[in-house]
Amino acid sequence: MPGIKEIRTKIKSVQNTRKITKAMEMVAASKMRKAQERMRAGRPYATKVREIAAHLMQANPEYSHPFLIEREQVKAVGVVLVTTDKGLCGGLNTNVSRVALAKLKEFQQKGVQVQATALGNKGLGLLTRIKANLVSQEIGLGDAPNLERLLGAIKVQVDAYLDGRIDELYVATTRFINTMKQEPVFLRLLPLPDAKMEDPFHSPNSTEASHAEVKSEYSWDYIYEPDARTVIDELLHRYVEGVLYQAVAENMASEQSARMVAMKAASDNAKKVIGELQLVYNKTRQAAITKEISEIVGGAAAV
């Protein structure tokens, strides 16, 4: 049985660890609310862009944007992996990495080349370890997504699609459902659907209603400046950027929620361990006192 001093040192160590995890839990809870508000604030913009883009495509069926054209044969694809920069957020990064690796293996078996983009330090580490064809990256994203920082990494993949170097573009991220549940998803970003523009981050289990489907009861058209083609081109680019921005925002909201839950579980476990160690400490201390009393009584009896 360990000595009293060792048990006391262990108790103090676990107590210090619990202080850290409790502080991280409170910080994550504060950041979580802001991240969720930011994520939900971006959804109306993305929804409206989807609606207008679908209306424009219905009003101008004669023009087929490259983002809408299905390639006959898929020889190469691009994958954008969205992860966190830091750990201690449960299985968040593990789950999305597992989904991405399964898809990469599937592409490899089909003989499809893959070029990857990493948004987040954990994803960069994974893609580097598996020696993936990494064409762009962005790490140190902070607590709020910054579209200007994301544009460079995104533009590499979009330009590759427009030049015909890749035939499809996918994004692997974590969709926020609620504080206790986050779901890894692997979405096709390009080419876009032309019939209806669905919200890629809407979950049927979500409590939020989705307004992504476009009503087709009557036709839509607009007054264009300078012309319909220019407006459609610019709008579809904004839509792609908006989806990737929303993917990062969803991942950040999921990160803070997962970290809060993980740190709460760690704090609860530390409290349980402290209680068990305290019980062992009391028993050891009582045994030492009993032994000393027995030795004193034995010595007195011998005298």
> 168-178 and 76-82: which strand pairing?
parallel
Q: Which helix (H) or strand (E) holds 77?
A: strand 76-82
How far is 192 from 196, CA to CA, in rounded Å? 9
Per residue in 175-215, pLDDT (tens digit) is 998 888 899 999 888 887 654 555 666 655 554 544 444 44
Tokens standing for residue 127 = 């893609």
pTM of the model: 0.80
Per residue in 131-169, pLDDT (tens digit) is 889 999 999 888 888 888 888 888 899 999 998 899 999
Residue 303: which pLDDT band, with cuts at 50, 70 and 90?
low
Give just the sign of the alpha carbon dihedral 188, 190, 196, 198: positive
Per residue in 214-228, pLDDT (tens digit) is 444 546 677 777 877
Tokens standing for residue 253 = 């909201």
Determine contact, residues 137/124, Cβ cutoff 8 Å: yes
Residue with tokens 């913009």: 45
Which 8-state DSSP code applies to residue 68?
G
Tokens standing for residue 102 = 């399964």
